[in-house]
Amino acid sequence: MRSTWHSATIVETRAETPHSVRMTLAVPTWPGSEPGSHLDVRLTAPDGYQASRSYSVASSSPWGHVVLAIDELPDGEVSPFLVNEARPGDTLEVHGPLGSYFVWRPGQNDRPVQLIAGGSGVVPLYAMAVAHDLAEDTTPFQLLYSVRTPADAFFAAELTELAGPSFQVTHVYTRQAPTGWPGTVGRLTRDTLAASTIPPSERPRVYVCGSTGFAETVATWLLDLGHSTTDILTERFGGL
Amino acid sequence: MPFATRGFSGRRGQADTRVPPGQTMVEKWPVLSAGPTPQVETRDWELTVQDETGTDHRWSWDELHALGVEDITVDIHCVTHWSKLGMAWRGVSLDKILANVRSEHRYVMAHSYGGYTTNLPLEDLLDGKAWIATEAEGEPLDPEHGGPARLLVPHLYFWKSAKWVRGLTMMPDNDPGFWEQYGYHLYGDPWKEQRYR
């Protein structure tokens, strides 16, 4: 294999939501990554036992700080450790960046971009929104973000901060909305999707990330609405 | 070992010699694909094998089954670190499909409904190592798992087992398919952890 494992040290952890952690890693040899890409995290036990999982990169800096946001899978092996046990100073290994398909590159400004996320699926899309902002790109960006409750939203403050003339954020709350929320509470529907996303006539690039059920449902609706299959990129999680 | 991560012991009782390095056993069957799921009816489904003479060999759904369906029990290994052991499949051996195909070429590009492609050496599809699978765990293959038919090449990482397969094209060189162009390994042996290039 050409690419190798990089040593990483946790420099900061904080609760992202009640069930997830935002983790900043110092990875001195990190080569940089494109918005939307992921990496593999590898943990090693004292007897040499190892476990690896893939996580999307939320952001990475030129000086080798890599930010991940990791949701705890109740039956997981790696995510409960990272969410509940890991703390600054701990070391682990990462491999990447991986994936150059589900990415948005600044300069891809010929067509608007529609981001659609469920839960922690917002992480790679947040990376794209950050890159769009840093590049001062005026390509219209929209995010439709479905979460259970306001407390379950990842990067809530950052997304509010990023919102502006060329980046519009719409939330769907499936269980509980903020006080004074004018909309309805409940699962995303095809009608809401149609009403709150860039129409197919504008030929947006559409990035969908969430659980398999979420991604399947949304991708099917997007096709029904008239988006072309080649304009819809999906990333699904839920395996491990 | 370069170091251990403080406090990590992992989940034990999983040690199984059938699980390749870097993999974890799963019971459920995760889904991963790059875009929307193609919906293909079996009455419209067709498999085409193309060789360098320009001859197309074609099978309808019924013609495929007439070649002889067999039961297959295999372990599958996904590049995203999960392995599912002892899966029961049904399908038609590629040996039967390729029996009358003559080609000097050593590589194959598998093509799918929806545009997905993946490259494989021809020899990895022969001698009882690969199938066109139409059932898994006693049920017709769900569209999200590649139904109505997918390639099944269990000795390689599972992205090589192209979902929604529609054709095989013989090719002289080992040209990269879809994920291979995005940095995945050209061959993908799970026992050598050939995940990425």
Q: pLDDT tens for residues A134-192?
A: 999 999 999 999 999 999 999 999 999 999 999 999 999 999 999 999 989 999 999 99
How many domains does one find in chain B?
A: 1
Domain A5-98 has CATH 2.30.30.40: no
CB B186 within 8 A of CB B109: no
Q: How many CB pairs under 8 A join A and B?
A: 119
Q: What is the pLDDT of residues B115-134, one digit of tens each?
A: 999 999 999 999 999 999 99
Q: What is the pLDDT of residues B75-113, one digit of tens each?
A: 999 998 899 999 999 999 999 999 989 899 999 999 999
State residue A195 phi and psi, 5-degree precision.
-75, -20
Q: Is residue B33 domain-resident? A: no
- Inter-chain contact B31–A212, Cβ cutoff 8 Å? yes
Tell me which amino acid residue B26 is: V
Strand ordering across the sheet containing A113-118:
A167-173, A141-147, A113-118, A205-211, A232-237
Complex-level ipTM beyond the 0.85 threshold: no
| CATH assignment of the domain containing B187 | 3.90.420.10
Tell me which of B1, B3, B5 to substitute to probe the interface with A (most A C-beta atoms closer than 10 Å).
Answer: B5
pLDDT tens, position by position, for chain B (197 residues)? 457 899 998 876 556 889 999 898 888 888 888 889 999 999 999 999 999 988 899 999 999 999 999 999 999 999 988 999 999 999 999 999 999 898 999 999 999 999 999 999 999 999 999 999 999 999 999 999 999 999 999 999 999 999 999 999 999 999 999 999 988 999 999 999 999 88
Minimal C-alpha gap between B38 and chain A (Å): 9
CB B48 within 8 A of CB B167: yes
Structure tokens belonging to residue B100: 């009358």
Q: CA-based diameter of chain A, in Å?
A: 57
Query: What does the pLDDT read at residue B1?
Result: 45
- Whether A211 contacts chain B with CB within 8 A: no
Tell me which amino acid residue A145 is: Y
Query: What is the CATH architecture assignment of A113-237?
Result: 3-Layer(aba) Sandwich (3.40)
Distance of CA A185 to CAs A161, A188, B90, Å?
Answer: 24, 9, 44
pLDDT-derived band at A2 (thresholds 50, 70, 90) equals very low
Chain A residues whose CB is inside 8 A of the B20 CB are none
Residue pointed to by tokens 């690896």:
A52
Per the structure, the complete domain to which residue B132 belongs is given by 24-28+44-192
Q: Is residue B148 domain-resident? A: yes
CB B83 within 8 A of CB B19: yes
- Whether A116 contacts chain B with CB within 8 A: no
Nearest CB partner across the interface for B81, out of A53, A86, A233:
A53
Give start-end residues of each CATH 2.40.30.10 domain in chain A.
5-98
